Amino acid sequence: MADVKLPEDALFLGFDSSTQSLKATVLDSNLNIVATQLVHFDSDLPHYGTKDGVYRDPSVNGRIVSPTVMWVEALDIMLARLSKSSVDLGKIAAVSGSGQQHGSVYWKNGSSAILSSLDPAKRLVDQFVNAFSVKESPIWMDCSTTTECREIEEAVGGALELSQITGSRAHERYTGPQIRKIHKSQPAVYENTERISLVSSFMASLLVGAYACIDETDGAGMNLMDIERREWSEAALKATAPGLQNKLGKLAPAYAVAGQIAPYFVQRFKFNKNCLVVQWSGDNPNSLAGLSISKPGDLAVSLGTSDTVFGISSNPKPQLEGHIFPNPVDKEGYMVMLVYKNGSLTREDVRNRYAEKSWETFNKYLQQTPPLNGGKIGFYYKDHEILPPLPVGFHRYVIENFTGKTLESVKESEVHEFDPPSEVRALIEGQFLSMRGHAERFGMPTPPNRIIATGGASANTTILGSLASIFGCDIYTVQRPDSASLGAALRATHGWLCHKKGGFVPISDMYMDKPDSISLGCKLAVAAGDPELVSKYAVLVKKRMEIESRLVQKLGRC
């Protein structure tokens, strides 16, 4: 990288269009964070009436959507705020972003003309109100497509076959099943759609004023892409909907440039006309970049709206559980991931019911209850869960005579409710026991070298203490918990360098002369727990996985 340097006064901008908010991180050419900004959907855009950024449709089981134009208006507000801040938008050399994964946007026939002729005198939202054939985008929380999942799996030869082709079996939230549902239930709407974007490529399209490609990493979250060849899979396309390839456009690597910023942003917000828009990608893949996960023994645990566990792998084996995506900053490598739908919103729900609506009380309860919770195990699903696929419901068990050494002679009984402090511990331990059990089953390294925690709840070190005890490793955090927008800013920088160099360069080259950069600065938050406790938790993991299998057999998929 010696021959291409980042210009000294250049800035790099990363967005994160997530479930509850649009966030931004600005880096200088030393990769230090110089500004951050947030637009919160519920409170900054109350006229859409979302709760936690979404609509839960009471009339259709499992349908969860967000109004597409709300994401556009959030960009209007974000750019207005940034341009009024101390950030000189004219100095931004490149911009990229993260999108909540799997969510899809349906552009109405003729909308490319709107994109390419934006009027800088008007807000974006006023110009895009009529651009979408589907006004409410299905998002990752939706689980209304079980029928379509089974149809797609059957058409390609089974769930494992689909996983071997695309990196995952069919999942309700994945874009392919969502597209199939629209094609089947609203054929005229499907016909009236000229382009289907992911949230990531949608936001990139706004910035370049033309349809941006879907990047190969986020594209793996659709059940449509051949993960090895990084091309659309003919079998998966055929199983999903007719004429789909034309509506999806091309795929591009995450480090590629989607285009130059559209004249609209130059005129309205004083961006430099040479500012590059680097392909946007999914929030989890960009977090991988933001946390600089580059060793197979490192795991990331993201505690955001969803909870995710991810790491890297050079040769992962597609299975029925877990997901495989191309690594957005390594041309050959992959990332592997587990995803839970019941993350922060379920923690908030239990906090509100049992801990006086306060994180302080919640933490106090966690501190005053013993590790292993006296054998009290809980399963808390405020929303239909993904891992395991279980419907809404809370399930509680007490493992009597539990010494932590063996499961012989223990008796298990179902109970209605625990005392409030035990509820809090059962919720937190339950999630981390499940993560450990499923990570082991998926072949992720346990105990990991270390865990890097991110997402909103990673600010809570009491919660992280429990993570350290259960996984038996040190827990690190980064300077800011929004690693998805930080990762996007780093990927903007990486994409800029690749562009200047005329081809892919390893992201490690970008850090060589910046050993002190804050973005890399993970710090130890909690040291590894007592090894004896770690092995006691191993016994509890076994018990939990056993109960979980029984629950799945009894209650089935959502």
CA 72 to chain centre: 19
**C-alpha R_g of the chain:** 23
d(CA 487, CA 127): 30
Tokens of 221: 């979250």
Q: What x-and-dash track marks residues 224-263 binding ligand XUL by CB under 6 A?
A: ----------------------------------------
Tokens of 273: 């006309």
342 touches ligand XUL (CB under 6 A): no
**Does an H or E element contain 26, and which?**
strand 21-27
Q: Which does 371 bind (CB under 5 to 8 A by kind): ligand XUL, ligand ADP, none?
A: none
Of the listed pieces 72-80, 99-107, 426-434, 541-549, which binds ligand XUL according to CB under 6 A? Answer: 99-107
Of the listed pieces 276-284, 388-396, 447-455, 526-534, which binds ligand XUL according to CB under 6 A? Answer: 276-284
Q: Which of 96, 100, 319, 477 binds ligand XUL (CB under 6 A)?
A: 100
- Least spacing, CB of residue 91 vs ligand ADP, in Å: 27
d(CA 485, CA 454): 12
CA distances (Å), 342 to each of 71, 138, 380, 382, in order? 23, 18, 8, 7
Q: Which residues, 6+ apart, have CB-to-CB distance to 513 below 8 Å?
A: none
Query: In 3-state terms, what secondary structure has residue 19?
Result: coil
Of the listed pieces 255-263, 277-285, 351-359, 514-522, which binds ligand XUL according to CB under 6 A? Answer: 277-285
308 touches ligand XUL (CB under 6 A): yes
Question: Which of 191, 55, 60 lies closest to 136, judged by CA?
Answer: 55
Q: Which does 173 bind (CB under 5 to 8 A by kind): ligand XUL, ligand ADP, none?
A: ligand XUL
- Least spacing, CB of residue 516 vs ligand ADP, in Å: 26
Q: Which one, 54 or 159, has the nearer CB to ligand ADP?
A: 54
Q: Which does 21 bind (CB under 5 to 8 A by kind): ligand ADP, ligand XUL, none?
A: ligand ADP
d(CA 62, CA 409): 40
Tokens of 376: 């009290």
Q: Which of 283, 298, 385, 548 binds ligand XUL (CB under 6 A)?
A: 283
CB atoms inside a 10 Å sphere around CB 399: 22
175 touches ligand XUL (CB under 6 A): no
d(CA 405, CA 437): 17
Q: Which of 140, 255, 379, 471 binds ligand XUL (CB under 6 A)?
A: 140
Q: Which does 307 bind (CB under 5 to 8 A by kind): ligand ADP, ligand XUL, none?
A: none
- Least spacing, CB of residue 98 vs ligand XUL, in Å: 8
Q: Roughly how many angstroms between the first and final C-alpha of the chain, as a whole number?
A: 50
Q: Which does 456 bind (CB under 5 to 8 A by kind): ligand ADP, ligand XUL, none?
A: ligand ADP
CA distances (Å), 445 to each of 70, 266, 440, 527, in order? 40, 47, 7, 18
- Least spacing, CB of residue 491 vs ligand XUL, in Å: 16
The residue count for binding ligand XUL (CB under 6 A) is 14
CA distances (Å), 176 to each of 66, 152, 183, 453, in order? 18, 9, 10, 30
Q: Which does 455 bind (CB under 5 to 8 A by kind): ligand ADP, ligand XUL, none?
A: ligand ADP
Q: Which residues, 6+ apart, have CB-to-CB distance to 288 below 8 Å?
A: 300, 310, 312, 327, 328, 329, 335, 487
Q: Is 455 left (phi over 0), alpha (psi -120 to 50) or beta?
A: left
d(CA 341, CA 344): 9
Q: Which one, 53 or 249, has the nearer CB to ligand XUL?
A: 53
Binding positions for ligand ADP, rule: CB under 6 A: 18-21, 304-305, 344-345, 347-348, 359, 455-457, 459-460
- Least spacing, CB of residue 510 vs ligand ADP, in Å: 24
431 touches ligand XUL (CB under 6 A): no
217 touches ligand XUL (CB under 6 A): no
Q: Which one, 347 or 536, has the nearer CB to ligand ADP?
A: 347
Q: Which one, 326 or 481, has the nearer CB to ligand ADP?
A: 481
Of the listed pieces 96-104, 121-129, 148-156, 367-375, which binds ligand XUL according to CB under 6 A? Answer: 96-104
CB atoms inside a 10 Å sphere around CB 445: 16
169 touches ligand XUL (CB under 6 A): no
Give the type of residue at 549: S
Q: Which does 284 bind (CB under 5 to 8 A by kind): ligand XUL, ligand ADP, none?
A: ligand XUL
Q: Which one, 124 or 199, has the nearer CB to ligand XUL?
A: 199
173 touches ligand XUL (CB under 6 A): yes
Compute φ and ψ for 285, nearest 5 degrees: -55, -40
Q: Which does 457 bind (CB under 5 to 8 A by kind): ligand ADP, ligand XUL, none?
A: ligand ADP
Residue nearest to ligand ADP (CB): 456
Could you tell me how many helices (H) and strands (E) the chain has, helices first? 21, 26
66 touches ligand XUL (CB under 6 A): no
- Least spacing, CB of residue 288 vs ligand ADP, in Å: 15
CB 258 within 8 A of CB 218: no
Q: What x-and-dash track marks residues 10-49 binding ligand XUL by CB under 6 A?
A: --------xx------------------------------
DSSP 218-248: HHTTTT-EETTTTEE-HHHHHHH-TTHHHHH
460 touches ligand XUL (CB under 6 A): no
Residues of this chain that bind ligand XUL (CB under 6 A)? 18-19, 100-102, 140, 173, 221, 282-284, 306, 308, 339
